[in-house]
A and B are shown apart, each in its own frame.
Chain A
Amino acid sequence: MSLTAPVDLGLALLLLGLAVWVIAASATYRAAEGFIAYGLVLALVWVRLGSVDVALTEAALGSGLTGLLLLRAAARLPPADPAERARPAKGVRVLAGLLCAVVTAGLAAVVLLLPEPAPTLAPAAAASLPATGVGNPVTGVLLAYRAVDTLGESIVLVLALIGLWSLAPDAAWGGRPGALTTAPAGSALRFLAQVLPPFGILVGIHLLWVGADHPGGKFQGATVLAAMWVLVIIAGLRRPPPVTSRATRWLVVVGSLIFVGIGAAGIWLAEAFLAYPDGLAKPLILAIEAALTLSVAVILGLLLAGPPEAERPTERRS
């Protein structure tokens, strides 16, 4: 299909242009805005590379949530931040440019000089897929073949949240996270935050459900759910929970706990940690995914909400 070439070329050029913009932008928040646009275009590139799972993750997490994090960080910098004005010495910049070029050349060489056909485990993974009961090979890898990696990642997320919370000053402990507070929201923002989340929740749950056999899965679904929650907080319709809230803490750990529990049960029922008994693979995978979606959504939302800030009794935050 010869006409894919202009589309691919156009996407690549657009991506490069946006990347140059992000680096050349003079103000931090302009770079952050360019980064978000870059992420959305990158999602299209992933589709052209045949990885819709990665495209979903890129659009939701790489562009959406990370972009918002960068924007909020940029917004909290003082206006004439000296770090924005100071530029490294010319020699440093040239060296950095050279190193980037060398790394790029190395990556290009690795990709372009791969033997044809490239060595891959994909046929073996696909061949064993029916035993796991899921149809999406990515889900099969994440939750069946390499489930222990996914377990590690979910625990790392909890640790990251703990690390973020530990940034709070002692006096602020027990308060609500404050990084998402903003000026009083106008009616348009409140309307958006009332109307969009129901659809977002539907899309998130749909992604979780469909991820067993089609691109999607718990991580993308959780990210969409977290984005909707963050939207509600930004608009001032709900306040983030205080860090001492037990219910929140249970939600944060329930995914990892259930994952570990099912893994441990596998020792008795199927001879190995995280082995699934025959015929029970798909229901167990779905149970793990559902619990993880909930936990990851809460964790991602809390990660964006930031460390707790001291409550000020005389002032109300939107």
Chain B
Amino acid sequence: MMPVQDIFTVAAVTLGSLFFLAGTVGLLRFPDTLTRLHALTKADNLGLGLVVLGLLPQVSSPLGWIGLIAVWLLALLAGATVGQLVAGAVRPPDGTPAQRGNPPA
């Protein structure tokens, strides 16, 4: 019988990997760039968070925990902001003349 931490790790990492799969399926199947961006930023970031959660019991030092959580928080911050940035490039916010000549696919 595996110890409780291992069961937790397996469950969380499996769930995280499934979210990564969902994100990629979204990337492959969604019709246009903005929806693909949505799949990427939401599902993949959640997958990363679950993976980090699952890895926490495997790392023994508190400094390691802080490191893992710092990575996840930074990824959330960067992902959210870059998502807005990319979306703005695809479809500029109202009132701004389109500077990038690429319409959403």
The verdict on B99 contacting chain A, using a C-beta distance below 8 Å, is: yes
Point out the residues of chain B lying under 8 angstroms from A183, CB to CB: 99
Q: Is residue A196 within 8 Å, beta carbon to beta carbon, of the partner chain? A: yes
A192 touching B99 in the complex, CB below 8 Å, given contacts A186-B88, A186-B93, A199-B74: no
A191 at the interface (CB under 8 A from B): yes
Cβ of A195: which chain B residues have Cβ within 8 Å of it? 77, 81
What residues of B have a CB within 8 angstroms of the CB of A129 in the complex?
none
- Bitwise, A2-30 to B at CB < 8 A (1) or not (0) is 00000000000000000000000000000
Does A196 contact B77, Cβ atoms closer than 8 Å? yes
Docked Cα-Cα span, A189 to B82, in Å, equals 8
Which residue in chain A gives the minimum CB-CB distance to B82?
A192
* A residues in contact with B82, CB < 8 Å: 192
Within 8 A of B (CB), among A188-231: 188-189, 191-192, 195-196, 199
Q: What's the Cα separation between A188 and B77 when bound, in Å?
A: 12
Chain B residues with Cβ below 8 Å from A191 are 81, 84
Is the beta-carbon distance between A188 and B81 smaller than 8 angstroms? Answer: yes
The verdict on A192 contacting B74 (CB below 8 Å), with A183-B99, A186-B88, A186-B93 known, is no
Contact A186 B96 (CB under 8 A): yes
Cβ-defined contact, A196 with B78, below 8 A: yes
Q: Which residues of B contact A188 (CB under 8 A)?
A: 81, 84-85, 87-88
Q: In chain B, residues 72-86, which have Cβ atoms closer than 8 Å to a Cβ of chain A?
A: 74, 77-78, 81-82, 84-85
A73 and B42 alpha carbons, distance in the complex (Å) = 32
A195 to B92, CA, bound (A): 22
CA–CA, A186 and B88, complex, Å: 8
A residues less than 8 Å from B92 (CB atoms): 186
Nearest-neighbor residue (CB-CB) of B67 within chain A: A206
Give chain B nearest CB distance to A133 CB in angstroms.
Answer: 22
Q: How far is the CA of A192 from the CA of B81 in the complex (A)?
A: 6
Q: Looking across the interface, which residue of chain A has its beta carbon closest to that of B85?
A: A188
- Closest beta carbon of chain B to A29's beta carbon, Å: 12
Give bound CA distance, A191 to B74, whole Å: 14
Q: A192 vs B80: C-alpha distance in the bound complex, in angstroms? A: 10
**Chain A contacts for B84, CB-based, 8 A:** 188, 191
Cα distance A192–B88 in the bound complex, in angstroms: 13
Q: A188 vs B88: C-alpha distance in the bound complex, in angstroms?
A: 8
Give Cα A199–Cα B78 distance, bound, in whole angstroms. 11
CA A192 to CA B87, docked complex, whole Å: 14
Residue numbers in A under 8 Å from B77 (CB-CB): 195-196, 199
Q: How far is it, in angstroms, between the C-alpha of A216 and the C-alpha of B20 when the chains are bound?
A: 30
Interface centre among A188, A189, A191, A199, by most chain B C-beta atoms within 10 angstroms, is A188
The answer to whether B85 touches A189, judged by C-beta atoms less than 8 angstroms apart, is yes
For residue B96, which residues in chain A have a CB less than 8 angstroms away from its CB?
Answer: 186
Residues of A within 8 Å of B87, CB to CB, are 188
CA distance A196 to B99 in the complex (A): 25
Query: A191–B84 Cα gap in the complex (Å)?
Result: 10
User: Closest CB-CB distance, B64 to chain A, in whole Å?
Assistant: 13
Q: Which residue of B lies closest to A186 (CB)?
A: B88
Which residues of chain A from 170 to 192 have any CB-CB distance to chain B below 8 Å in the complex?
183, 186, 188-189, 191-192
Instruction: List B residues 89-105 near A (Cβ within 8 Å).
Output: 92-93, 96, 99
> How long is the Cα–Cα vector from A196 to B78 in the complex, in angstroms?
7
> B102 → chain A, closest Cβ, in Å?
12
What are the 5 tightest A-B residue pairs by CB atom distance, in nearest-first order? A188-B84, A188-B85, A192-B81, A186-B88, A188-B88
Could you list which residues of chain B lie within 8 angstroms of chain A, going by C-beta atoms?
74, 77-78, 81-82, 84-85, 87-88, 92-93, 96, 99
A–B complex contacts, Cβ < 8 Å, 18 sampled = A183-B99, A186-B85, A186-B92, A186-B96, A188-B81, A188-B84, A188-B85, A188-B88, A189-B85, A191-B81, A191-B84, A192-B78, A192-B82, A195-B77, A195-B81, A196-B77, A196-B81, A199-B74
Given contacts A188-B81, A188-B87, A192-B82, 4 further A-B contacts (CB under 8 A): A191-B81, A191-B84, A192-B85, A195-B77
